Amino acid sequence: MHHRFAIQLITALLLIGPVWAVELKQASLLDNYVWRNNADWFGGLSAIHIAENGRHLIAVSDRSKLITAQIERDGDRISDIRILGHWPILSSKGRILKGWAGDSEGIALAPDGSFYISFEGVHRVVHYAAPNSNARVLPRPREFLDLNRNGSFEALAIDDRGRLYTLTEKNRTAQGDIPVYRWDGSRWSTPFVLPARGKFLPVAADFGPDGRLYVLERAVAFIGFRSRLRRWEIDDDIARSEEALLETGTGTHDNLEGLSVWRDDRGRLRATMISDDNFLALQQTEVVEYLLPD
């Protein structure tokens, strides 16, 4: 009796298995490149934007540094990253930002080539016309003033209509959800929330070329970091069709904090993520790339 039941169970699992494999949508690792540079200002990279079909990179350090670089590739793997330029991120008065005021965390490029940067220490989103230009600080509603000092705007994204979205790392609604703030060019609103799941906290976001919102999340353990990548369809200010594309074990990657979603020369959807090494010798700057399901 027990022998016949075991055979039936194994048969059922074999039949179910292929169906589950078809329905499960997951990211697959393409490359993990360790980016090294001896400059004393290099490190703490918390945001990334990939352009020119994966050949150009813009990164932001959490110590108010903007970097542009050329990416050399050998097939699906990165062979070299060559820095083209670097600039201090300036205040509205043209001064170099320092301390909590200079805790720059997220970047989003506008259609006209200008860009926005989100800051976590002093909670704000700032517009820059060019890398060496002065800041134009967007209005700061009263709600921003009470956010967690080291847990606010790490994530910043821009949709195909030019609207900005930023997420708080640690602050939650009364129901425990992640508030999403949107700037439409004249005012801030909270069009929707995202469900918080487990111990993961949002640290980066991007709208992919498929129009979906992607959010990179991090969980910190004593022996390392875990990463998770989720995405949603945004329809009439409602986040629908949540998918978890990636969830790593502790130590699989370093402290991934930046995210850019793009299509390569073959039309494949990719996610490039970058790690913040916190300027510590025990950590490293990783550029990690995953192939995503469409």
Tokens of 95: 């001064």
The type of residue at 258 is G
Backbone angles phi and psi of 291, in degrees to 5:
-85, 130
Instruction: Give the integer Cα–Cα distance in Å for 131 and 151.
Output: 26
Handedness of CA 142, 238, 176, 207 (dihedral sign): negative
| 67: CB partners within 8 A, 6+ apart | 45, 57, 58, 59, 60, 61, 83, 85, 86
pLDDT digits (tens, 9 = 90+) for 154-168: 999 999 999 999 999
Asked if residues 89 and 60 have their Cβ atoms less than 8 Å apart, the reply is yes
What pTM value is reported for the model?
A: 0.90
Beta bridge partners of 48: 59
The Cα–Cα gap between 184 and 198 comes to: 31
Sheet holding 178-183, edge to edge: 153-158, 164-168, 178-183, 188-194
Helix (H, G, I), strand (E, B) or coil at 39: coil
Residue type, 50: I
The candidate with the shortest Cα–Cα distance to 289, out of 12, 4, 29, is: 29
* Arch. (CATH architecture) of 26-292: 6 Propeller (2.120)
Task: Determine the Cα–Cα distance for residues 188 and 167; give it in Å rounded to an integer.
Answer: 12
Residue-level pLDDT, tens digit, the chain, 294 residues: 433 333 333 333 333 333 232 344 799 999 999 999 999 999 999 999 999 999 999 999 999 999 999 999 999 999 999 999 999 999 999 999 989 899 999 999 999 999 999 999 899 999 999 999 999 999 999 999 889 878 899 999 999 999 999 999 999 999 999 999 999 999 999 999 999 999 999 999 999 999 999 999 999 988 899 999 999 999 989 999 999 999 999 999 999 999 999 999 999 999 999 999 999 999 999 999 999 999
What pLDDT does residue 151 have? 82
Q: Give all strands of the β-sheet with 238-247 in edge-to-edge order.
A: 201-207, 213-221, 224-235, 238-247
CA dist 94 → 111, 149, 235 (Å): 24, 24, 39
Q: How far is CA 252 from the centre of its chain?
A: 17
User: Both tokens of residue 145?
Assistant: 């003033």
pLDDT score at 15: 37
pLDDT of residue 24: 46
Q: So where are the chain's domains?
A: 26-292
Q: In terms of Cα–Cα distance, which of 269, 213, 106, 43 is closest to 289?
A: 269
